[in-house]
Amino acid sequence: MKKITLLSTLVLGLLIGLTACYEKMEFGDTLAEPKLPDQVLDYASIQMPEHMKNTFLGFSNNIFGVNNGKPIDPTLINIPGGINNNPGIINNANIGPQNPVVTNYGATLGRVLFYDPRLSINNSISCASCHKQELAFADNAQFSKGFGGKLTPRNSMAILNSGLNHNLFWDSRVHSVTQLALEPVRNHIEMGMESMEVLEKKLGNTTFYPELFAKAFGNSQVSSEKIANAMAQFVCSIISSNSKFDKGVANDFSNFTELEKMGKALFFSAKAKCAECHAGNNFSAPDNPHSNDPYGMPGIEGTAVIGLELFSKDKGKDNGNFRIPSLRNVALTGPYMHDGRFTSLDQVVEHYNSGIQPHPELDPKFIDQDGKPLKMNLNAIEKKALVAFLRTLTDERITKDTRYANPFN
């Protein structure tokens, strides 16, 4: 009888211990706490430089001359009326009205959330697992690994300058960074946190999140709305604008090599037509109706069928349409395309040069006068030059800025 009682006591003790361990695991108490400086870092003063705020790159007289031989329409250069007075445009950074004002404490909280594996159901991955700072917030895997080891169906896009875009994700399914923030968290493959109530309780039971929420929002209550807001503040603060190209804007590109200058001329030429899709101050789809980019109009969706294959297995937004990504830091963000099929910029250039496939919905820009897929017919030097120019869009500063670094390290 004593043996049975002793055994029961041991079993009961073991169950209590396992329950306590589970609760700690579920609510993240055993995981690392962030190491934040005593002085809050500055995010609120981060701004777009003037050449990104006030010009439409590729069509500005003072930067690239004429548009296919035609004079530039000055209305494509000036900021549209009313933009400067729009309270949704914060820090002159082209952040749309559905995105929050960036504050120091708000972005700090967002940074902690971005790097915290507690946001996944089993504490295994964070947003930064698929968006790595050293890779300009992209992933070098063809498909990223989710919380249970399953792979995502699409390549992880870089999230730099996300506030400039009205349509986000490869299929353009959300229209603000605030909407974007919780999509991966809830996704059944990526982070698996399908219940926001569980996440709120999980974070609220930590020793540090209540204080961070109080500093950011005035009270310590944890809510999914605040989580999304803070993460959006952090992501919107990640602005890439210090590349060799950006520095060249101020000095007529005297810092460019002859090969880079040739590549720049090709990029904006009628022969290569790169700028017809990768346009504006972010070298991406001109799709934000709230930005200073004059091509940012509601009618431009910012997606295209680029002839990767005759029949699209992944339909994207519809029938093979995928979002046109930014080319900023493109040298760091491979592999390329929605399915990560190309591992180098040389392969990407060759696709547009000679590899575009027929498709029922092929974008008209990729169809020649005979109705066939367009071929750029670039020679070896021209292809090399185009890649050289793309590399000038790399902003190394963004990969090393401590404001965007992992606070748990």
Give residue-wise pLDDT tens across range 281-337.
788 876 554 444 444 444 445 788 888 877 677 778 877 889 999 999 999 999 999
Element (H, E) at 261: helix 258-267
| Cβ atoms of residues 216 and 36 within 8 Å | no
Is 326 inside a domain boundary? yes
CA distance 167 to 251: 33
DSSP 67: B
Domain that holds residue 8: 1-30
User: What is the b/e burial string over 9-18, where b = at least 16 CB atoms within 10 angstroms of the residue's CB?
Assistant: eeeeeeeeee
Does pTM top 0.85 for this prediction?
no
| Number of domain units in the chain | 2
**Residue ranges in the chain whose pLDDT is less than 50:** 2-3, 11-12, 14-28, 54-97, 289-300
The pLDDT score that the predictor gives to residue 293 is: 42
The CATH number covering residue 312 comes to 1.10.760.10
Is 58 inside a domain boundary? no
The pLDDT score that the predictor gives to residue 213 is: 98
The pLDDT score that the predictor gives to residue 287 is: 55
Six-digit token string for 396: 């190394």
Residue 291's identity, in one-letter code, is S
CA distance 141 to 174: 24
Q: What is the pLDDT of the chain when averaged over all its residues?
A: 81
The pLDDT score that the predictor gives to residue 57 is: 40
The pLDDT score that the predictor gives to residue 163 is: 83
User: What is the b/e burial string over 53-84, where b = at least 16 CB atoms within 10 angstroms of the residue's CB?
Assistant: bebbbbbbeebbeebeeeebeeebbebbeebe
358: CB partners within 8 A, 6+ apart: 307, 310, 372, 373
Render pLDDT for 221-234 as a digit per residue (tens, 0 to 9): 999 999 999 999 99
Is 145 inside a domain boundary? no
Closest among 71, 73, 74, 55 to 63, alpha carbons compared: 55
Is 230 inside a domain boundary? no
Element (H, E) at 304: strand 303-304
| Cβ atoms of residues 73 and 295 within 8 Å | no
Residue 368's Cβ-count burial label (10 Å; 0-12, 13-18, 19+) is exposed
The pLDDT score that the predictor gives to residue 313 is: 78
Radius of gyration of the chain (CA): 24
Is 323 inside a domain boundary? yes
| Cβ atoms of residues 137 and 238 within 8 Å | yes
Is 216 inside a domain boundary? no
CA distance 145 to 152: 6
The pLDDT score that the predictor gives to residue 53 is: 59
Is 61 inside a domain boundary? no
Is 273 inside a domain boundary? yes
